[in-house]
Structure 1
Amino acid sequence: MSLDKLSEQLKSNATQKMPPVELWDPPYCGEIDLQIKADGQWFHNGTAFKRMSLVKLFASVLKKEADEYFLVTPVEKVKITVEDAPLLITQWIWLDDEQTVMQLTTNLDDTFILSKEHPLTISDDGGLYVTVRRNLMAKVHRNVYYQWVNFAQEVDQENEVALAITSDSEQFILGYLE
């Protein structure tokens, strides 16, 4: 399958903002040389995508199954390579003066509230990730992490001291102090 063919098929089906890819189970059509780097850049055949609109279009049909990523249409499924997480948390703001509800934004302009529905988790290697949509994760960019550390509170977490932030009445651990 070519990237142009997939792009045409997606554009012709672009009636919704976020297609219901979790409901689609098309046949596997092979692999395509499309890679999402750890820094959030998308490449095809070694060349970086220059049009953000095309990246957003492909990201709208991105699906994760087990530990593999696919671009899915109602009739085809192609495997792609993702180095780390397919998305990055690059911005955040408080939505209220009391600083109780935090809105996050990804490198592809997904916006959502850090909450039970979109939790923050720590990976085995200490990286911070947030569930964005479906089972797709976004890695918290280092700049965002450092900003959060500035106002994080020390909390007792199972006899360990942790740094935590709170959003939407949920507490999220950024890491543990030694």
Structure 2
Amino acid sequence: MNDALDSLESQIGKTRDYESPPLHLWHPPLSGNIAIRIASDGTWFHEGSVIKRNALVKLFASILRREEDGNYYLVSPHEKWRIQVESHPLIVTDFDWSEEGGERVLVATLNIDRQWTVSTEHPLHFDDVAGAVTITIPHGLTALSNRAAWYRLIEMADVEQHHAVLRSGHFELRIPLQ
């Protein structure tokens, strides 16, 4: 691993809130580009080699944000590194029903072992290019459903007037059936 990765891992790993680091408070100047790429299937690479340590992928995913310029950055309190993302940075691996506040809600499970409830705050969108749905999560990020999660979600949808309709609490997505 190179010095930039080691530096980020050591800074963040010491006093981290693994669930919700305060990225909104971290605004260091750009440190440069780092040779990290997230492939369209959600695989993380560093200098062309797969990052095999899942804990390291989860750590880096927790400090990833997309900024207004459309670029993705790994951010710590003192460093900010631009990375490459081919499509969406994260992958939805499953959807399931749950109940919150007496309402039936959809829960998306991501490839980084995090779950997000589909809601108006974390909505689903249909990605025409990928032919599947994405969920919007904090820090400007999105997660694309993999094929298995997409098929499961379609099976969970109601069919109404030539649309697949997904409801989660007060959120609703209507996808035209072709």
2-structure distance, mates of 1:177, 1:121: 15
Q: 2:87 aligns with which of 84, 89, 110?
A: 84
Give 1:100 deviation, angstroms.
2.1
RMSD: 1.9
Percent identity of equivalent pairs? 36
Q: Which runs of 5+ in 1 are unaligned?
A: none
- The secondary structure found in structure 2 opposite 1:100 is strand
Tell me the alpha carbon deviations over residues 9-34 of structure 1, each in whole angstroms, 9 at most, x when there is no partner.
11123245321112211010110000
Q: 1:151 to 1:127 in 2, by over 3 A?
A: closer
TM-score normalized by the length of structure 2: 0.88
Q: 1:17 to 1:99 in 2, by over 3 A?
A: closer
1-structure distance, mates of 2:103, 2:123: 17
Alignment match, 1:177? 177
Q: Does 1:149 align with 2:150?
A: no
Q: Does 1:2 align with 2:4?
A: yes
Letter in 2 for 1:87: L
Residues 100 and 169 in structure 1, CA contact (< 8 A), matched pair in contact too: no
TM-score normalized by the length of structure 1: 0.88
Tell me the alpha carbon deviations over residues 5-61 of structure 1, each in whole angstroms, 9 at most, x when there is no partner.
221111123245321112211010110000111111111011111111111111111
1-structure distance, mates of 2:97, 2:89: 24
Deviant stretches of 4+, over 3 Å = none
Residues 22 and 63 in structure 1, CA contact (< 8 A), matched pair in contact too: no
- The secondary structure found in structure 2 opposite 1:101 is strand
1-structure distance, mates of 2:71, 2:89: 11
5 Å-filtered alignment, 1:45-60, equals 45-60=47-62
Alignment match, 1:162? 163
- The secondary structure found in structure 2 opposite 1:7 is helix
Moved more, 49-58 or 122-131: 122-131
Aligned length: 172
- The secondary structure found in structure 1 opposite 2:104 is coil
- The secondary structure found in structure 1 opposite 2:148 is helix
2-structure distance, mates of 1:127, 1:93: 16
Give 1:150 deviation, angstroms.
2.1
2-structure distance, mates of 1:167, 1:135: 21
Q: Which runs of 5+ in 2 are unaligned?
A: none
Residues 118 and 131 in structure 1, CA contact (< 8 A), matched pair in contact too: yes
1-structure distance, mates of 2:18, 2:47: 29
5 Å-filtered alignment, 1:9-158, equals 9-15=11-17, 17-66=19-68, 67-96=70-99, 100-125=104-129, 126-156=131-161
Give 1:133 deviation, angstroms.
2.0
Residues 18 and 59 in structure 2, CA contact (< 8 A), matched pair in contact too: no
Moved more, 146-155 or 61-70: 146-155
